Amino acid sequence: MYYSNSDVRIEEQPVPEIGADEFLLRVEASGICGSDVMEWYRKDKVPLVLGHEVAGVIEKTGSEVTKFAVGDRVAVTHHVPCFSCHYCETGHETVCETLQKNTHFYPGGFAEYVRVPAINVDRGTFPIPDGVSFENASFTEPLACVLRGQNRAGVSAGQTVLVAGSGISGLMHINLAKSRGAGRIIAMDTIDYRLEVAKKLGADHVISNAEDLPNQMRKLNDGNLVDIVIICFDGFIEPALESVESGGTVLFFAGAREGQTIPMTINDLFWRREVTLTSSYAGGPADCKNALELIRDGAVQVKDMISHRFPLAEIGKGFQMVSQPWKQYTIKVIIEPQK
């Protein structure tokens, strides 16, 4: 039960009851997401059970569930669209209003068991391929978010990509861009160990400060700025915006601090430069399916991103580490509720 980043308690609740069109999931692996430690975003909703990067085994099915059976290994996403509204019909299913209503599993992924609602059973549950572990499968939802972001930004072979912020999302962006054949990948962060991991996962160059970032880009990129900028840390927004080449794209991937604005003038950023600013939120069902295939095929090396595994009893330690990554080596923390 989450009260704050420094106050995560173990509380007993009954095993959830399920309806005829739902199933009960025994959670085997649940990742702590960067959004889980955004206290300002949670302050009006606490206490609550978080956890949405989930993989496990179906423990029980309702009488009307036909697509899955007891014992199936599955990854489950908490966000699913209606498929029939204006947004869904125009390719923007992750801003569908249904995502924010009745598609959340109960009580949350940081629990031994969760009830998966009917709509998630129908379009938010994905069989885990043979040979894929639960902890690797728990990356399905976060990798789907990264995949959707890169699709919206148009990341493709031969491009130069700057990833501004090399936490877990940034590292997935680096690794995915590498698998897509990006010509040159530049990773940026203020935490040295993250940059070391970034190099292992495909970054061609790493930089540790934003001072005169455009000039740093030109030195690393044959005199040019970069084709794609992916902002994964809001502290880098202004220098990152200054580093995109004319005709390039900036993807606002990470959530920003409350009330933060874009610190650039229209003439400097847009006029005569044809720069595209875009954003992405969450991942749709197709993104989740494709992400799980990438994990199965080893195209994205999620196993190498896991730094810690904790039983549910030690989840508070995991939240401390994710919320304060500068204090000790922390990349991805996986909670294993059955241990």
Q: Which residues contact 195 (CB under 8 A, 6 or more apart)?
A: 166, 187, 189, 203, 206, 207, 208
pTM to 2 decimal places: 0.96
The predicted-structure confidence for 169-199, as pLDDT tens digits, reads as follows 999 999 999 999 999 999 999 999 999 999 9
At residue 265, the pLDDT reads 84
Reported as a pLDDT band with limits 50, 70 and 90, residue 223 is: very high
CATH of domain 2-139+300-336: 3.90.180.10
By the 8 A CB rule, do 300 and 289 touch?
A: no
The predicted-structure confidence for 6-44, as pLDDT tens digits, reads as follows 999 999 999 999 999 999 999 999 999 999 999 888 888
Percent of the chain whose predicted confidence (pLDDT) is above 70: 100
- Does the domain at 152-279 match CATH 3.40.50.720? Answer given as yes
CA distance 103 to 79: 6
Rounded mean pLDDT, 130-148: 98
Reported as a pLDDT band with limits 50, 70 and 90, residue 205 is: very high
Rounded mean pLDDT, 218-245: 95
If we measure between CA atoms, which residue out of 2, 61, 56, 63 comes closest to residue 33?
Answer: 2
Task: Evaluate if residue 102 carries a pLDDT over 80.
Answer: no
Domain ranges for the chain:
2-139+300-336, 152-279
Rounded mean pLDDT, 262-270: 82
Reported as a pLDDT band with limits 50, 70 and 90, residue 263 is: confident
Reported as a pLDDT band with limits 50, 70 and 90, residue 258 is: confident
Chain centre to alpha carbon of residue 79: 12
102 burial (CB, 10 Å; 0-12 / 13-18 / 19+) is exposed
By the 8 A CB rule, do 35 and 76 touch?
A: no
Tokens of 271: 């006029």
CA distance 226 to 245: 5
At residue 268, the pLDDT reads 80
